[in-house]
Amino acid sequence: MTQTKASPDIAAGRLPQEAYADNFSDLHPLLEPHEAQVEADRCYFCYDAPCMQACPTSIDIPQFIRQISTGNPTGSAKTIFDQNILGGMCARVCPTETLCEQVCVRETAEGKPVQIGQLQRYATDHYMAENDTTPFTRGAPTGKKIAVVGAGPAGLACAHRLSVHGHDVTLFDAKEKAGGLNEYGIASYKSVDNFAAREVEFVLSIGGIELKSGQRLGDNLDLAELRASYDAVFLSIGLGGVNALGLENEDKSGSIDAVDYIADLRQADDLSKLAVGRNVVVIGGGMTAVDIAVQTKLLGAEDVTIAYRRGQDRMNASDFEQQLAQTNGVKILTWAQPKSLVAENGSISAIELERTEDQNGSLTGTGEVITLPADMVFKAVGQTLVQTDLGGALTLEKGRIVVDADRKTSLDDVWAGGDCVAGGEDLTVAAVEDGKVAAEAINAALSA
């Protein structure tokens, strides 16, 4: 049994001041023009491009890469934005290694795909540096009004496409800043230089979109009232609840929701003032688990462990993300599930983990217990829809909103997209596609 401490060792300023800027610098710096040219020339420009089929937003990847290779990054960006108006952020955060790059012919032939994500960023960053507005013109006013609730990727994509069609959009968001998880939920080293906020301004530059912050469904927004006041409603409210571990002492200091801490980190003006434990344990196996683990390590935590209840091959985090964690000194402990949280003097001091095994497809505990010292235990075991916000008006499945292929809900005038809908992928690019598809369906319904 590992000895526990009488008090937590949580402190700010664990590193020299200059270390923070270095640790949280851009994970993938922007390609230089020559580098982009060389990389673009590696593309075979496949006619029946598997990369395009693997892209949730169906960007014409061979076309935008060919435009880069011919010295036309502006045209390349327009090709990207035509299908994905948040192409800049998606180039930074998409797990391209499991999407377009995984099926790249270069990858299957020689194990080295064309760096599609990096090329997409090269084009979109070039365009946004040269232009203050999107390459789209707002359509003639239709007189129709749509309420978009949630200014994350799905909401922004939906609002922009609706504005292109000439509809007036009111974009509501619960937070002070728009952007959703792009602003509050991703690792800081994936999106530097306030890019999320700049992209929001870029999207809103189309005009015809009024942003109202501090507006939360179930609080000062009511779905029935929105339906009565607007011609259509699009819900992109995300998942506001966090799954609990269901353990004693979970309410004690040091037991923390990973998404909340990441949001604090993303909004911090001075990372040296953000307190972090010396010993950190993260419960979970997805992207959020990796994001919080790596970032606490970069903040100066000495020992960081991700504990996951199944094998490493079952983790939702991609191989690249797992390798990123390990190369930053994060340990990945598999086949271990939380059994109890140890607390002393009102604070977490350790966590007990039970070894698990797979018995005919069923996860069971073995009875063997491991104890790890922990000043902080981060919960990254998924988020849930706050169903009370919907007032029981919509059909749900497994705690998420049921939608059809057009992202229409069980109500004729309400559509939904992003993390809050059933059967979707928890990816920024998938949320953008939801918003785009819903906008086209709303436009068709209002034009009938």
Summarize the confidence of residues 406-417 as an average pLDDT: 97
Do residues 301 and 399 lie in contact, with contact meaning Cβ atoms separated by under 8 Å?
Answer: no
The per-residue pLDDT for 386 is: 86
In a domain, 31, yes or no: no
- How sure is the predictor about 7, in pLDDT bands with cuts at 50, 70 and 90? low
Q: What percent of the chain has pLDDT over 90?
A: 92
The alpha carbons of the chain give a radius of gyration, in whole angstroms, of 23
Give the contacts of 391 (CB within 8 A, at least 6 positions apart): 218, 222, 223, 224
**Structural domains counted in the chain:** 3
Encode pLDDT of 11-62 as tens digits.
999 999 999 999 999 999 999 999 999 999 999 999 899 999 999 999 999 9
| pLDDT tops 80 at residue 430 | yes
What are the C-alpha distances in Å from 7 to residues 111, 223, 248, 280, 427? 49, 47, 18, 14, 39
| pLDDT tops 80 at residue 180 | yes
| Domain of residue 120, residue span | 41-130
- How sure is the predictor about 8, in pLDDT bands with cuts at 50, 70 and 90? confident
Summarize the confidence of residues 308-332 as an average pLDDT: 96
C-alpha closest to that of 108 among 65, 50, 62, 59: 50
The per-residue pLDDT for 240 is: 87
Same domain, 167 and 47: no
Encode pLDDT of 105-137 as tens digits.
999 999 999 999 999 999 999 999 999 999 999
Same domain, 73 and 49: yes
pLDDT higher for 1 or 157?
157
Summarize the confidence of residues 132-158 as an average pLDDT: 97
CA distance 333 to 308: 6
| pLDDT tops 50 at residue 5 | no
Tokens 């990816």 belong to residue: 427
Residue 396: how many CB atoms within 10 A of its CB? 17
Q: 374: which 2 tokens?
A: 């922990």
Same domain, 254 and 336: yes
| pLDDT tops 50 at residue 270 | yes
In a domain, 395, yes or no: yes
Q: 420: which 2 tokens?
A: 């809050």
In a domain, 187, yes or no: yes
Same domain, 353 and 246: yes
CA distance 288 to 375: 19
